[in-house]
Amino acid sequence: MKRGDVVLVAFPYVTGAGGKNRPALVIQCDQNNQRLSNTIVAMITGNIRLATTEPTQLLIDPAAPEGKSSGLSYPSAVKCENLYTVDQRDIPRILGSLPPSLMGRIDDCLKAALGLP
C-alpha cells in the first residue's frame, strides 16, 4: 500500500466499543509504509456537510475527474482531524487512490488539523 491509497478499514467508535468498516485514506509516507507494519489513515465519511467550509476536511467527488480513481461510490469527505493508526494486515483491500493534485490539498488539511505552518 502507498500514500494516497483509499482503503477499507474497521474504524473504531470513539467510545472504544466496536467499530464500523469504512473507507480511509493512507496518509503515512511510503518509506514508513514499507518499513513499518502499521500505517496512519484519515477517516473518510459520507457526511459532507462541513467538507466545503472546514479547513481540516476535503471533499472527494467520484464523479469529478480528480475523484474517479478514488474507488468511492458517492461524494465523501476526508476528515484529516480524525486519524487512526492501523496494522497493515487489518486492511482487507485497497479501493482506489487519490491523484497527487488532491494529495497536495490533503497536506493542507493535515497542516490545519495539526496546527502546522
Taking Cα atoms as reference points, which of 37, 43, 51 lies closest to residue 11? Answer: 43
Q: What angle do CA 49, 53, 114 make, to 5 degrees?
A: 105
Q: Which domains does the chain have, with CATH numbers?
A: 5-114 (2.30.30.110)
Q: Give backbone dihedrals phi and psi of 77, rounded to 5 degrees, phi first.
A: -115, 130
pTM: 0.94
Q: Measuring CA to CA, how many Å separate 56 from each of 15, 19, 53?
A: 22, 23, 9
Residues with Cβ within 8 Å of 16's Cβ and at least 6 positions away in sequence, in order, are none
Residue 84 buriedness (CB in 10 A; 0-12 / 13-18 / 19+): middle
- What pLDDT digit, counting tens, does each position of 18-41 carry? 778 999 999 999 999 999 999 999
Tens-place pLDDT, residues 52-76: 999 999 999 999 999 999 999 999 9
pLDDT at 108 over 80: yes
